[in-house]
């Protein structure tokens, strides 16, 4: 059995941008199914999330997903790790829902019949077959967020990173998206300011000024974050 299976390892990782460090000397092993990432704006949490699927490469150190280094195995990492952007408009590429979901499958060589079947199954599973031929830019905020998720899910990743998934949603659509997230079989890593979302997670990471300052169960990490807000470093 591969000892790295279902494991993210971050070893002596720093990320530098010109004259400052967004992250400094991070060491972690992550093997839980539900991982939250919190911190103030500019704390390094989004940079950390982007490390996990190779959108950001470390300036120093090594990031491995199931034993594969992000700096050497970009294509394989992107198959393993899906990324849901904060704003779905930055992720949706094609004008029709079906086309957007099909894009990744075409790139990896699925034929038309296979693509049609996979899209059929996915839309039916989430009760949105009526959206198949809709114009992507005319969808509601919640529907756009769901489309972004479905376009990742169709690729069957092992991990999915969500960057502030509820930021642009009203309460009704936020609940719908959170229900979708709760049912996912994949490991999910969620960057969020919505602390209530993390209550039942396995682990929460707290970043501040580029450093990992808490790595604990949700209640303890959130308490540390609240203390930082009122008693900053």
- The pLDDT assigned to 168 comes to 76
**Residues in the chain, how many?**
233
Separation of alpha carbons 161 and 85, rounded Å:
8
pTM: 0.91
CA dist., res. 108 & res. 103, Å (int) = 9
Report the distance separating Cα 22 and Cα 19, nearest Å.
10
- E strand or H helix at 11: strand 8-17
The confidence score (pLDDT) of residue 166 equals 82
End-to-end CA distance of the chain: 43
What domains, with CATH codes, occur in the chain?
Answer: 8-230 (3.40.50.300)
Q: What does the buried/exposed string (b/e) look like for 21-60 if buried means 16 or more CB atoms within 10 Å of the residue's CB?
A: bbbbebebebeeebbbbbbbeebbbbbbbbbbbbbbebee
132, 145 in Cβ contact below 8 A?
no
DSSP state of 89: G
**Which residues are 159's β-sheet partners?**
81, 187
Q: What is the pLDDT of residue 1?
A: 42
Give pLDDT, residue 176: 86
CB distance 141 to 132 below 8 Å: no
Helix (H/G/I), strand (E/B), else coil: 50: helix
Whole-number pLDDT of residue 3: 56
pLDDT string in tens for the chain (233-residue length)? 455 567 999 999 999 998 889 999 999 999 999 999 999 999 999 999 999 999 999 999 999 999 999 999 998 999 999 999 989 999 999 999 999 999 999 988 899 999 999 999 999 999 999 999 999 999 998 999 999 999 999 999 999 999 998 887 888 888 888 888 988 999 999 999 999 899 999 999 999 999 999 999 999 999 999 998 877 55
Distance (Å, whole) CA 38 – CA 229: 12
CA proximity to 49, closest of 17, 4, 96, 8: 8
Q: What is the DSSP string of 150-196?
A: HHHHTT--SEEEEESTTTT--HHHHHHHHHHHHT--SEEEEE-S-GG
């Amino acid at each position: 059995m591969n000892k790295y299976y279902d494991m993210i390892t971050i070893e002596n990782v720093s990320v530098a941008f010109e004259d400052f460090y967004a992250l400094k000397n991070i060491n972690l092993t992550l093997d839980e199914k539900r991982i939250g990432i919190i911190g103030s704006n500019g704390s390094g949490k989004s940079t950390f999330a982007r490390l996990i699927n190779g959108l950001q490469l470390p300036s120093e150190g090594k990031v491995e997903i199931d034993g594969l280094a992000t700096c050497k195995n970009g294509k394989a990492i992107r198959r393993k790790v899906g990324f849901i952007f904060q704003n779905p408009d930055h992720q949706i590429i094609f004008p029709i829902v079906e086309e957007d979901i099909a894009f990744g499958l075409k790139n990896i060589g699925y034929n038309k019949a296979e693509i049609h079947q996979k899209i059929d199954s996915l839309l039916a599973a989430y009760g949105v077959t009526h959206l198949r031929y809709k114009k992507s830019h005319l969808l509601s905020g919640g529907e756009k967020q769901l489309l972004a998720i479905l376009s990742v899910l169709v690729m069957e990743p092992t991990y999915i990173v969500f960057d502030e998934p509820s930021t642009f949603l009203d309460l009704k659509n936020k609940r719908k998206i959170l229900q979708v997230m709760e049912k996912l079989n994949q490991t999910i890593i969620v960057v969020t300011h919505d602390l209530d979302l993390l209550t039942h997670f396995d682990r929460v990471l707290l970043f501040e000024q580029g450093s990992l300052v808490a790595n604990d169960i949700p209640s303890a990490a959130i308490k540390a974050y609240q203390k930082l807000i009122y008693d900053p470093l």
